[in-house]
Amino acid sequence: MQKLKLNFNNTFRKELSADPIVESYPRQVQHAAYSEAMPIKVQQPKTIIVASEVAQMFNFTEEFISSDDFAQIFTGNKLIEGMQPYAMCYGGFQFGNWAGQLGDGRAINLGEVITDKHGSQTLQLKGAGPTPYSRTADGCAVLRSSVREFLCSEAMYHLGVPTTRALSLCLTGEHIIRDIMYNGNAAPELGAVVCRVSSSFMRFGSIQLPAMRRDLKLLTQMVNYSITHDFPHLLPQNGKGSDTESKAALISKETYLAWFNEICETTSDLIIHWMRVGFVHGVMNTDNMSIIGETIDFGPYGWIDNFDLGWTPNTTDSQNKRYRFGGQSVISLWNLCQLANSLVPLIGSVEELQAKVESYTKMYEQKWHKMMMSKLGLTANLADEKEETLLAKNLEVLLEEAETDMTIFFRLLATFDFSENEMNSTQISKILIQHFKPCYYNLEQLDDAYIEKLTLWMSKYHERFTLETYNDSDRALKMNKVNPKYVLRNYLSQQAIDKAENGDFSEIHRLHELLKNPYDEQKKYDKYAAKRPDWAKNKVGCSMLSCSS
């Protein structure tokens, strides 16, 4: 049996202000970045699944992974040498309103580990019990939300989307009372814990809370810590190699501006990735926005089946649709504006921050243009940006006009061979409908007017493609590298959850395996690339998700 020994450095605890109160009762925590928080003991820990690639980051052996020790440690029952559990203190804007202190209400960091190849990585248990930030909640998590967290974080990684990772998913042997749709129908559910992994779990709200409280000392600490550990390349050259305090002393206004600028860059990159693969986060509150530009906090998320820029999976947001698919770039800008406001005390003025915020929209539009051209298998040409953007925007209108499965459409577009199908053929409309038929949810919507628009768009697309130097086969290869065949559709997650709640974890393992190669054909998994079935269109867990999900 492997004797687990990890190299903890725990800089977050060592370098930032601590809550002086050790007890874990709900309270407002002032002038502190974190509070001590111990995981609760659970009855019967059981490991359901481990992401082997994440385990390898920590050199865990198969023998250790399959041991009872693993389940005990990664449900919080057992601590090893170097673990110093804590919960982070942060605030946030929720649905556009300042919510004050929030913090890790059901997440407990075990500590930061220095790995051989991946630098410092924090091990965090989600669902391991109450912390000072749990308010009236129990700090626990149920199986259904934990399955969704585990599968989605790993699916996002293999799609090439920046994300927190998931090491493990374990049952606790407990039953947790939850009201899944907040409608008065509370019921016991299986308890579970996910071990999440990231180089940093800091959020926009980590900076916003001390700023809103006018706690300049803590605000400075938090930003300096982030720069020093998450963005060390921004440090002045003569500060490298010295101790943390010396590095922090060299941080200037220019460093703060460069740090904010990089957060703008990585945030825009993240949203571009979400749009590329059809992911809707569902709750882009500022406490759910990662400082390092990772997808974090997988709650009421969803994947676009039929393309709809106005769709949100979050029942809490069903009326206003603040966090809808097509609104994610606007909300990312709004969130960055709130972060910029928090930095004014460090910068001393608003003009330079405002300039960076004002340039965000143009930066995002250029990245969106490049991304959409890659999805279409075309080489982006900024000289023709206006025409190319029009081609992409017209496609979005077309996809929304008839219920069109976004994921399947782009894979079918990749296989359409212009060399074998003349666009001026009298039969081209019939050929197109026959080719794209598998991606439509309602064939009755394909009337003459729609078919004419599809044919016109394909003609424009072909006209643009003729300017490229490669053939249809090369175009397909290019497109299939950025347009996945497999995504974690909500109904697939729900099927895995339904089986798991009855003791069958096979579907979790199967989804985890196939989603490791989302761009490959994987013929044996073809059924997982199919359209959303009719029964899932309005089913809880498949189309509608609450923040409890």
CA distance 91 to 325: 24
pLDDT of residue 549: 45
* 92, containing H or E segment: strand 91-94
pLDDT in tens, 273-285: 999 999 999 999 9
Distances (CA, A) of 256 to 234, 240, 473: 9, 17, 47
pLDDT in tens, 151-192: 999 999 999 999 999 999 999 999 998 877 667 778 899 999
For residue 271, give every residue at least 6 positions away whose Cβ sits within 8 Å of its Cβ, in sequence order, or none: 328, 329, 332, 364
pTM for the full model? Answer: 0.96
Other Cβ atoms closer than 10 A to 444? 7
CA distance 416 to 188: 50
pLDDT of residue 151: 98
CA distance 276 to 482: 8
Closest CA to 145 of 538, 493, 499: 493
Given the residues 69, 215, 287, 297, select the one marked as catalytic: 287
Percent of the chain at pLDDT > 70 equals 96
* Three-state DSSP class for residue 81: coil
Q: Is the dihedral of CA 417, 418, 421, 423 positive or negative?
A: positive
pLDDT in tens, 350-402: 999 999 999 999 999 999 999 999 999 999 986 788 999 999 999 999 999 99
138 classed as catalytic:
no
C-beta of residue 309 within 8 angstroms of C-beta of residue 406: no
pLDDT of residue 31: 98
User: Which ranges of the chain have pLDDT less than 50?
Assistant: 1, 239, 549
C-beta of residue 411 within 8 angstroms of C-beta of residue 384: no
pLDDT of residue 250: 82
CA distance 357 to 322: 20
* Cα 505 from chain centroid (whole Å): 24
